[in-house]
Structure 1
Amino acid sequence: MQKNSLQFMGMLVLLVITTIFNYAFFNTLGITGVTLLNLLVVVVAAYFCDFAIATLTAFLAFLSINYFFTEPRYTFEIAHLQSWVSLICFLIVSVVIATLVKQLQFQTFEAQLASQRAQFARTLAEKIALAADIDALLIETCQLLQSEFHKPFGVVLCNHAMNTETHYRFVKLADVPEPDPRLLKWVWENGKAISPYTEYWAKSAQWLLPFSRTANHEPILIVGDIGNDEPIETFNAIKSCVDQISQAYQRLNSSEKAKHAELIAQEEAIQSALLASISHDMRTPLTSILGAATTLLRTDLDHTQSKYLIALIASQARYLATATENILSLVRIESSAGKQIVMDWQSPEEMIGIALQQFQEQDASLEIEVHIRSPEALIKGNIHLLTQALCNLIDNAKHAHIGTEPIMIDVVKIDHFIHLTIQDRGAGFVELPDLAQIKKFGTTKSRGFGLGLAIVQAIATLHNAQFTIQHREGGGTCATLSFPTQILELPHAG
């Protein structure tokens, strides 16, 4: 009402100014000029004001021309038929122009609105198509809806439902009040929207639009800052957007469930293969030990035969001890995931020395050649875990190695990584393993179920290092641990 009053007062002032101008220059303008200037006032009123104000302005201009400029002047009487025709034509033309201007404005507004809606629809479709996960989908679409409809938006996701209580998560971008849990429960149980246009909880200060039309616990879109005069077109437009977002949500939800099921199936398959391999590889040395021990019970063995069988039992027992230690180590490492481990600066040369000492005690004939090309390089890590990883790699190389050429250990710093490489001249892998899912590997050797490499991968992960296995030129395998370089912080002098 106040807006209409201001518009009317503005047009009245403009009409008064125009009348004064026409009166002052009437002898120059004539009745034709006066009529055209008043028609221009009507056009201005039609463009800037409501249709009713424009029509009223046209009628007042009609009276102004009649009173001040039509003979007899200063009266509302009209002496000539020609004057009647001119005034009535002016009034008709004024109303027609006002109508046409309003229609043009409406059509222009509709065209702009259609263009905005088309742009919004394209952007929404792009957001939906490019969304990589459910949270990104909900956040980005809420941002888009908020910018389009100038209202705060949020989404309620149900975590799980029990007999007496429903737990949910509220994702919001702006200051959207958390909805009443009773309303959420009602929407989930009935699959119906809450708004004045659905006749359900019409007095609610928020709109609640479910992603599904049936009773379930799918997300609910929350629209805040709802006024009493919100048009139904806005509600229908938002509801249409919810339908599109719901389809994308269903797609992503199904995709995530499928990926989760696939990961579970892969993990179960890996565990089954691991258990089968462990069972097979541990049964073989146990059978050898049992056979050798049974043979030793015979009294007709000479010293050489007895010594051979005892050495066999010792060798197989060491293998079982190593395998058991690897299994326990892998369990300990996996159980410590997410926990803080003791880290300090370690010298690769010292680590290699500790590992070589262990192997020299077991087998003095083992030939290993070490090249420390970056003696100043230090690795931030746990000395026990790093030494164990190095021992496992050397042990793998030892069992795979053939020929007289020594096993090569190389340490070099390149760019921002310290590379520790163990190279052998064995037959290598039939197919390079997938280190992302390293659990069990098949080599050309009959023994070995890859737990050593699994431990190396786990230790590398704990140290943010990269573990790679490649074919060595000329035959054999090249296993590399690449540790990122870090800045050594020296203590400040007191």
Structure 2
Amino acid sequence: VFIFGSLAGALYARHIWQSVLSCVACVILFGYRFAHPVMSVVLFDKGCLMAFAAMLVISVVVSRLAIRLRSQASASAQAAAQNALLYEAGQSLQTLEQDADIAAYVTREISRYLNRPAVFYPNRSGSLGKPLYVGDPAGLLAAREQAVALWTLKNNRRAGASTDTLQGARGLYLALRHRQHIFGVLGIDLGRDRLSTAENVVVLSLLGQAGLALENNENARLREQEALKAQQQGMKTSLLRSISHDLRTPLTTIGASADLLTHPGLREDQQRSLAASIRQESLWLRDTVENLLSLTRLDEGALHLNRQEVELEEAAVQALQHSGTRQTDHPVTIDIDPDCTGFLDGRLMVQLFVNLIGNAMAHTPAQTAIMVSGRKQGDQVVLEVADDGPGIPKEVREHLFEPFCRKSTTIADSCRSMGLGLSLVHSIVEAHGGSISYRDNAPGACFCIKLPCTGETDEAIDTECGRRCADDQPAADGV
């Protein structure tokens, strides 16, 4: 009983003095209850003192070993938890694409790990941006605390509580950075406490991972901008090439016809033929310039939609009249129900029909029938412009609505044009919140357009939008 009690006290002791006290208690209990004389602290056998001393030494040694093992096990468990936290943070940060989401995540994780309120100030051109916080940020949003955060942002050094710089602050402020690029400042409400070595390592590791994620996002944005610039440069090159190639022919024809008209002795029928040629080429030039301007405004969002109730049957008739003499070579049938109306831009709707009908006329053989139909389905109007011509090859349909598609791809909108007609139609439909698709007409091509047939005028939309934008402007965002 004496040996068991001494070893049990040594194994469960948290400190050496606890093991010593338990061993002394066992000695007193043994001497008083079991040693002769019983019920007395007097010992007849003085050899027991040697046994007591040996057990005391053994208890101290066992206690030291047990304490060391428990400390190592605790350190291993803590290290495993920290590694799991850092690994999970690394995986999560790789999936976040927005800078605000990364800042919110690292602020939340550090606050949860330390069980303390935290605040993050993004870097806005060298000044503190709108703060993101976790917990009660009242102590960290004071003017004095923000001054310490601003000092950290400008000097790229930690400051505040538990540091040698501005140590009177309530929070500890650390820069979230990658190399020398500072993305913001993180504040942790420490009060009079200090971070342990393990906590400091975890916090700095999380900030390092977040800084790397923000740097990767910024590099990705730069690559996207470079790719966009390259794409824009390619489009400019295509546009210049198209203008130099496609506009040269009609301008040459107009100039030659005008020169011939100045010559005396032309018959009346020759003059009429030359005048018709000039008119046809000028109309083509006008349509091309209109397509370019409209497409540019739609892509830049600068074109204001003059929404009003539009009868799509009337828009199709106007578009057919705009086609001029070309409609005599192609029989066109318009079958749009009278209830096919919507709050749309009437001018753009006419342009839409002009491009689709003109595209079918320009790229199908003479006498090819063209059908324009429209039906109302629920809160949408479904329009179809179909023909029974040769159709469009499968290999070019995925680029059907891209600008500058050329005849070399056998696309139906690129014979002596810059391939802008279908691209403009696609932009007009998207601007009105609709959709456009292509399908085979067996034989021929069919373009299906879905447009909303109900809606509000621009004034009502603008008023509601202004009302929503002015609702809530908080000074700080809680994560």
Q: Aligned-pair distance for 1:307?
A: 0.9
1:129 and 2:97 matched: no
Q: In the alignment, what sits opposite 1:18?
A: none
Q: Aligned-pair distance for 1:223?
A: 3.0
Change (3 A) 1:446 1:54: same
Distance 1:265 1:70 in 2: 97
Q: Give yes or no for contact 1:127–1:137 (8 Å, CA) kept in 2.
A: no
1:386 and 2:349 matched: yes
Q: In the alignment, what sits opposite 2:319?
A: 355
Q: State how 1:41-440 maps to structure 2 within 5 Å.
A: 42=9, 46=13, 52-53=17-18, 55-66=20-31, 70-72=35-37, 76-85=41-50, 87-88=52-53, 91-92=56-57, 94-96=59-61, 98-161=63-126, 166=127, 168-176=129-137, 177-178=140-141, 180=145, 182-184=147-149, 186-194=151-159, 199-212=164-177, 215-225=180-190, 227-278=192-243, 280-334=245-299, 336=301, 342=307, 344=309, 348-359=312-323, 363-370=327-334, 381-411=344-374, 419-424=382-387, 425=389, 428=392, 431-432=396-397, 434=399, 438-440=402-404
Q: In the alignment, what sits opposite 2:472?
A: none
- Three-state SS of the structure 1 residue aligned to 2:159 is coil
Distance 1:187 1:213 in 2: 15
Distance 1:484 1:55 in 2: 87
Decide which moves more: 176-185 or 119-128.
176-185
Q: 1:450 aligns with which of 419, 425, 441?
A: 419
1:465 and 2:434 matched: yes
Distance 2:10 2:453 in 1: 76
1:481 and 2:449 matched: yes
Distance 1:432 1:109 in 2: 64
Q: Which amino acid aligns with 1:325?
A: E
- Three-state SS of the structure 1 residue aligned to 2:266 is coil
Q: Which amino acid aligns with 2:383?
A: L
- Three-state SS of the structure 2 residue aligned to 1:192 is coil
Q: Aligned-pair distance for 1:65?
A: 4.8
- Three-state SS of the structure 1 residue aligned to 2:170 is coil
Greater Rg over alpha carbons, structure: 1
Distance 2:451 2:16 in 1: 77
Decide which moves more: 422-431 or 387-396.
422-431
Q: In the alignment, what sits opposite 1:6?
A: none
Q: Structure 2: where are the runs of 5+ without partners?
A: 457-479
Q: Give yes or no for contact 2:148–2:169 (8 Å, CA) kept in 1.
A: no
Q: Give yes or no for contact 1:355–1:391 (8 Å, CA) kept in 2.
A: yes
Q: Which amino acid aligns with 2:86?
A: A
Change (3 A) 1:213 1:270: closer
Distance 1:56 1:316 in 2: 111
Change (3 A) 1:229 1:73: farther
Q: Give yes or no for contact 1:380–1:486 (8 Å, CA) kept in 2.
A: yes
Change (3 A) 1:224 1:385: farther
Q: Give yes or no for contact 2:298–2:428 (8 Å, CA) kept in 1.
A: yes
RMSD over equivalenced CA pairs, Å:
4.0
- Three-state SS of the structure 2 residue aligned to 1:305 is helix
- Three-state SS of the structure 2 residue aligned to 1:80 is coil
Change (3 A) 1:150 1:415: farther
- Three-state SS of the structure 2 residue aligned to 1:228 is coil
Q: Which amino acid aligns with 1:453?
A: L
Q: Give yes or no for contact 2:118–2:134 (8 Å, CA) kept in 1.
A: yes
Distance 1:117 1:371 in 2: 71
Q: Which amino acid aligns with 1:482?
A: K
Q: Which amino acid aligns with 1:42?
A: G
Q: Structure 1: where are the runs of 5+ without partners?
A: 1-31, 489-494
How many pairs are equivalent? 445
Highest RCO, 1 vs 2 (Cα 8 Å, sep ≥ 6): 2
1:441 and 2:399 matched: no
Distance 1:340 1:385 in 2: 9
Q: Give yes or no for contact 1:157–1:219 (8 Å, CA) kept in 2.
A: yes
Q: Aligned-pair distance for 1:259?
A: 0.8
Q: Give yes or no for contact 2:342–2:453 (8 Å, CA) kept in 1.
A: yes
| CA deviations over 1:453-480 (Å, ceiling 9, x no partner) | 3321221221222233466654x54433
Q: Give yes or no for contact 1:209–1:221 (8 Å, CA) kept in 2.
A: yes
| CA deviations over 1:365-420 (Å, ceiling 9, x no partner) | 53123466x88766564343333212221122221121433023344678997543
Distance 2:439 2:189 in 1: 58
Q: Give yes or no for contact 1:197–1:232 (8 Å, CA) kept in 2.
A: no
Distance 2:79 2:22 in 1: 32
Change (3 A) 1:417 1:96: farther
Percent identity among equivalent residues?
Answer: 20
- TM-score between the two structures when normalised by the length of structure 1: 0.74
Distance 2:303 2:286 in 1: 28
- Three-state SS of the structure 1 residue aligned to 2:448 is strand
Q: Give yes or no for contact 2:121–2:130 (8 Å, CA) kept in 1.
A: yes
Change (3 A) 1:137 1:392: same
Decide which moves more: 167-176 or 383-392.
167-176
Change (3 A) 1:446 1:64: same
